């Protein structure tokens, strides 16, 4: 099976976690695009399959609205049953690195609203220790150089992602060379650095479930 087919598999499987008629939290990325496609198919069979969505990016909002799914502003929603999103890396405890699509800040905001984070990913995303994928960090532009220097002290090599401005008007610093043994402590620390808007370690908002696409089918991991 190709990586694309594995993404389609888990995108479809995620529908089982969406309560009929509910409002669903929707992440960002190529795997989430497959989930949105599956949602579109389900809606054709049952127009009441979902009542609406809270989206984590302009990209996902456009795709949802193209299917006629009402997208509610996060500030008008008090809680969600489930948030469906991909990951750049996930470990065996449900901790993740996210932000490859630069949407990490809004992803954390919507994930925080949800009772359960359901991660959908192909099996290449499962790792023993987070950090091989360059860690995305959303940073206020004037702090980028000092944040890069701070990561250098931890052994990380940071660089500003070229040509990318986030939906919030900030830059992304991608940091290579880290090995993140204690994701919760790391997230809490880096989030305090002046100018850091969001670090792409999802520990507070880790996955409750991961639907991992494998050639043998969907492997369900619960944490």
Site of interaction with ligand 5RP (CB under 6 A) = 27-31, 85-88, 98-104, 107
Q: Which is nearer to ligand 5RP, 98 or 206 (CB)?
A: 98
Cβ-count burial of 153 within 10 angstroms (0-12 exposed, 13-18 middle, 19+ buried)? Answer: exposed
Closest contact distance (angstroms) between CB of 47 and ligand 5RP is 27
Other Cβ atoms less than 10 A from the Cβ of 193: the count is 15
Calpha distance 24→70 (Å, rounded): 11
Closest contact distance (angstroms) between CB of 107 and ligand 5RP is 6
Q: Which of 157, 158, 85 is nearest to 125 (CA)?
A: 85
Q: Which is nearer to ligand 5RP, 134 or 156 (CB)?
A: 134
Closest contact distance (angstroms) between CB of 96 and ligand 5RP is 8
Calpha distance 172→138 (Å, rounded): 5
Annotation says 107 is catalytic: yes
Residue among 89, 107, 138, 187 flagged as catalytic: 107
Calpha distance 88→135 (Å, rounded): 9
Closest contact distance (angstroms) between CB of 27 and ligand 5RP is 5
Q: Which is nearer to ligand 5RP, 103 or 143 (CB)?
A: 103
Q: Which is nearer to ligand 5RP, 23 or 32 (CB)?
A: 32
Q: Cα 144–151–176 angle (5° rounding)? A: 100
Helices (H), 100-182: 104-113, 144-153
Catalytic residues: 107
């Amino acid at each position: 099976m190709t990586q694309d087919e594995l993404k389609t598999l888990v995108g479809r499987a995620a529908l089982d976690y969406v309560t009929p008629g509910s409002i669903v939290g929707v992440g960002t990325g190529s795997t989430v695009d497959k989930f949105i496609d599956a949602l579109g198919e389900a809606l054709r069979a049952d127009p009441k399959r979902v009542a609406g969505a809270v989206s984590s990016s302009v990209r996902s909002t456009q795709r949802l609205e193209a299917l006629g799914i009402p997208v509610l502003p996060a500030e008008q929603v008090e809680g969600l049953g489930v948030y469906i999103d991909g990951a750049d890396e996930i470990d065996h405890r449900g901790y993740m690195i996210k932000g490859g699509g630069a949407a990490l800040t809004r992803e954390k905001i919507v994930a925080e609203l949800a009772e359960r984070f359901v991660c959908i990913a192909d099996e290449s995303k499962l790792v023993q220790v987070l950090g091989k994928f360059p860690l995305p960090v959303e940073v206020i532009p004037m702090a980028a150089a000092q944040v890069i220097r701070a990561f250098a002290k931890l052994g990380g090599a940071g660089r500003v992602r070229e040509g990318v401005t986030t939906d919030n008007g900030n830059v992304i610093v991608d940091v290579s060379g880290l090995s993140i043994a204690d994701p919760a402590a790391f997230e809490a620390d880096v989030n305090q650095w002046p100018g850091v808007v969001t670090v792409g370690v999802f520990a507070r908002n880790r996955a409750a479930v991961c639907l991992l696409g494998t050639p043998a089918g969907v492997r369900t991991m619960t944490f």
